[in-house]
A = this chain, B = another copy of it.
Amino acid sequence: MNTFGRIFRLTTFGESHGPALGGIIDGMPAGLEVDFDMVQQELDRRRPGQSAIVTARNEADRVEFMSGIFEGRTTGCPIGFIIRNSDQHSNDYEEMRHKFRPSHADFTYNAKFGHRDHRGGGRASARETASRVVGGAIARQALQRYGITIRAYTSRVGDISVDTPYSALDLDRVYSNDVRCPDESAAVRMKELIKRVKAEGDTIGGVVTCVIKGVGPGLGSPLFGKLQSLLAGAMLSIPGAKGFDYGLGFEDCGRRGSEMIDSFAIMADGSVGTLSNHSGGIQGGISNGEDIYFRVAFKPVATLLKEVTTVTDSGEDATLTARGRHDPCVLPRAVPVVEAMAAMTVFDAMLCDRSSRL
């Protein structure tokens, strides 16, 4: 299932070391004037080689749109696009043809398909997320029309967390540093930690927090189309994601209901609002008009620049030392991917919502 979404649907293809990756955005309504620079900017935020704390693989990640946009505007027809792979060192991976990298998808793809592209993780490579960023950028431009903004940031790396709540941070500053953390003091310490970990040939995990503002009441559906269900599915489809929670999330568990309910009140403008937002902007699977916020946990990258023990596909013990170029910490590059998946989820829910009432 390489398709995401119900009405606004992104289908992607492509492996790390094939000629190109890309996708098809189907279900995009006609009439959006596409800001191509913004699409490229989003891709640049995800692409490797941008700072000392991410992989040195250097891909231009130029997107070529093939269809669905005419004279600068979407036509309602599917938007095909490709992104050429260029900076490939396939030979770095010859050793992985028969050896399974621990905690990577080599073994599991082999078990499932019997035949796999072993170069750079093939389809399992996080390089695939470039296609999602394209889909997300288009969705986001559509959301802007409705006053909806999506902001994600690195809120934790290793044992360094941002303690300030999102509402007290300046989210316009996320991309002002390499770590993509709007708390400058935490960002400095995170960067130090990542450099230290990298120097040791090791890797480190963390958390991305995401905030969606401007969604009015009524988005999402009962049951299996609950907004949190769609967001959780979307986030856990990102390579390296290990957990998701929204609102107070796992912290809710320790609390009493009386501490957690969000009382309704009539706001200054006469609308209904809540006095607190422990719910994270969603009740019964449907948005209530408050900010939607959630967290995504990412594991440390499994590729170490150290010798590890493993086995081969013929069942023999082996050792392996990674030679490819890898991220010591995916968090900085995960930030635009979380935003992209959130944008597609929300925009798709918005299109679905058009059929709620006769």
Please tell me if A114 contacts chain B, counting CB pairs below 8 Å.
yes
Contacts of A231 in B (CB 8 A): 236
Q: How many residues of A contact B (CB 8 A)?
A: 158
Decide if A13 touches B67 in the complex (CB within 8 Å).
yes
Instruction: List the 4 shortest-distance A-B pairs measured between CB atoms, nearest first.
Output: A105-B284, A243-B245, A13-B80, A233-B233
Contacts of A266 in B (CB 8 A): 311, 315-317
Decide if A252 touches B358 in the complex (CB within 8 Å).
no
A85 and B11 CA atoms in complex are apart in Å by: 22
Excluding A70-B122, A109-B222, 15 further A-B contacts by CB distance (< 8 Å) are: A3-B224, A11-B11, A13-B67, A24-B24, A31-B113, A31-B357, A32-B358, A74-B358, A107-B283, A156-B254, A243-B243, A250-B297, A253-B297, A257-B302, A263-B310
Which of B31, B205, B225, B247 makes the CB contact (< 8 A) with A255? B205
A70 and B105 CA atoms in complex are apart in Å by: 17
Known A-B contacts A29-B357, A358-B29, A358-B142; the reply to A124 vs B80 at CB < 8 A is no
Q: Jot down 13 A-B pairs with beta carbons below 8 A, ordered by A.
A: A2-B223, A15-B77, A18-B67, A22-B80, A109-B284, A112-B221, A203-B257, A204-B256, A205-B252, A236-B244, A243-B252, A351-B354, A351-B355
**Closest CB in chain B relative to A316 CB, distance in Å:** 8
Decide if B250 touches A100 in the complex (CB within 8 Å).
no
A117 and B75 CA atoms in complex are apart in Å by: 7
Query: Chain copies in the assembly?
Result: 4
The contact string, 1 if C-beta is below 8 Å from chain B, for chain A 207-236, is 100000000111111111110111111111
**CB within 8 Å of B: which A263-293 residues:** 263-266, 270, 272, 274, 278-280, 282-289
**Closest CB in chain B relative to A281 CB, distance in Å:** 10
Decide if A24 touches B23 in the complex (CB within 8 Å).
yes
Please tell me if A20 contacts chain B, counting CB pairs below 8 Å.
yes
Contacts of A270 in B (CB 8 A): 315
**Closest CB in chain B relative to A250 CB, distance in Å:** 5
Which of B6, B29, B103 makes the CB contact (< 8 A) with A1? B6
Contacts of A100 in B (CB 8 A): 264, 272
Which of B29, B263, B355 makes the CB contact (< 8 A) with A102? B263
Please tell me if A41 contacts chain B, counting CB pairs below 8 Å.
no
Decide if B250 touches A242 in the complex (CB within 8 Å).
yes
Decide if B355 touches A4 in the complex (CB within 8 Å).
no
Decide if A252 touches B258 in the complex (CB within 8 Å).
no
Decide if B264 touches A310 in the complex (CB within 8 Å).
yes
